[in-house]
């Protein structure tokens, strides 16, 4: 190992130790805060005890400073011991847990999606009685991590979008692939059966699709179908990646996927490496009104051989 590599190795080690120290410090601060809350609760139950306990300390400012200094010194000693003695293998186990408590196959990485802020203003319409609606996740349960090949990226960013609504009622079609996912920046298309098509500009191996309809209110969009093809007329190499059109409204086949409630997370669809240049999204009204809305579409893929 030359001097440059050795220096980089030392810097990486310092960075790792710093991150572990920061995590331990946060944990220590949380414990101190919990102890403080418990003491204050005990004092509040008996004002006389509160006076007796606080009077000697409050009279002597130097005593407070001494206690604080002792706490800092003790924390530093514990942190140094923690960094020195903790095995490096512990870091590897933590990384594995972050990626979904499973071993990641070689060449695969966890798909990272930048989510918009959580914005929710209530329910305008009761969602009870909607047919084929998926069950909500349990409280505290997160969306499962999706693994994709290393180098996978959003190949739809800035790409051309066309629609069966020649001119959107609200917004412009380019907004659907501009990278903005906020709840107010939506594109509104004509009512009833409509679709949008994204031209990726070249054929890509598509591994995942993230789709955001209007998500500021709880609502469900109906008869959603997502397809890919090699040509803009969707004649060659057509593949259906998602279909909850249970009554075959679009004439593309009866869907077996579930309706779902829109949220800031969007809908994540596993595309399984399907090769295509064009991606089309069908929809047909929603629980708020008869229009069709899109905020953002992200297509995660890579060109073959890369």
* CA distance to 102, 183, 281, per residue, from 171 (Å): 42, 13, 18
Q: What's residue 48's pLDDT?
A: 39
3-class state of residue 211 by DSSP: strand
Q: What's residue 107's pLDDT?
A: 94
Name the architecture of domain 108-302: Sandwich (2.60)
Q: What's residue 274's pLDDT?
A: 98
Instruction: Among 10-19, 35-44, 224-233, name the most confident range.
Output: 224-233
Q: Is the dihedral of CA 125, 129, 131, 137 positive or negative?
A: positive
Q: What's residue 182's pLDDT?
A: 81
Mean pLDDT of the chain: 77
Check: pTM over 0.85? Answer yes or no: no
Taking only the tens place, the pLDDT of each residue in 170-194 is 999 999 999 998 867 899 999 999 9
Q: What's residue 306's pLDDT?
A: 63
Domain ranges of the chain: 3-86, 108-302
165-188 burial code (b ≥16 CB/10 A, e <16): beebeebebebbbeeebebeebbb
The residues facing 276 across adjacent strands are: 204
Q: What's residue 5's pLDDT?
A: 46
Higher pLDDT, 56 or 302: 302
80's tokens: 């140094």
Q: What's residue 185's pLDDT?
A: 86
* Residue 133 pLDDT greater than 90, yes or no: yes
Are 137 and 287 a contacting pair, CB within 8 Å? no
Distance CA 58, CA 83 (A): 36
Q: What's residue 150's pLDDT?
A: 96
């Amino acid at each position: 190992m030359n001097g440059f590599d050795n220096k980089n190795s030392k810097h990486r080690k310092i960075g790792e130790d710093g991150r572990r120290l920061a995590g331990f410090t946060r944990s220590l601060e949380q414990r101190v805060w919990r102890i403080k809350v418990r003491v204050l609760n005990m004092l509040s139950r008996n004002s006389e005890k509160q006076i007796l306990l606080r009077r000697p300390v409050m009279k002597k400012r130097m005593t407070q400073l001494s206690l604080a200094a002792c706490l800092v010194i003790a924390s530093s000693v514990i942190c140094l011991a923690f960094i020195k003695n903790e095995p490096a293998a512990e870091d590897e186990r933590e990384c594995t847990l972050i990626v979904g408590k499973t071993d990641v196959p070689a060449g695969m990485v966890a798909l990272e999606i930048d989510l918009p802020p959580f914005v929710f203003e209530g329910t305008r319409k009761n969602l009870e009685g909607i047919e084929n609606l998926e069950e909500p996740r349990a409280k505290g349960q997160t969306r499962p991590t999706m693994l994709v090949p290393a180098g996978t990226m959003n190949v739809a960013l800035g790409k051309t979008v066309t629609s069966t609504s020649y001119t959107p009622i609200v917004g412009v079609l380019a907004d659907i692939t501009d990278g903005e996912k906020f709840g107010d920046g939506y594109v509104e298309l004509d009512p009833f059966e409509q679709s949008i098509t994204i031209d990726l500009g070249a054929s890509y191996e598509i591994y995942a699709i993230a789709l955001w309809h209007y998500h500021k209110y709880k609502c469900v969009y109906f008869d959603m179908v997502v397809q890919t093809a090699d040509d803009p007329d969707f004649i060659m190499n057509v593949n259906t990646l998602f279909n909850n059109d249970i009554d075959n409204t679009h004439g593309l086949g009866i869907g077996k996927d579930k309706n779902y409630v829109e949220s800031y997370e969007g809908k994540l669809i596993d595309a399984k490496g399907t090769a295509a240049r064009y991606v089309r999204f069908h929809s047909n009204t929603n629980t708020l009104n008869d229009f069709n809305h899109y905020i953002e579409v992200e297509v995660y893929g890579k060109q073959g051989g890369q």
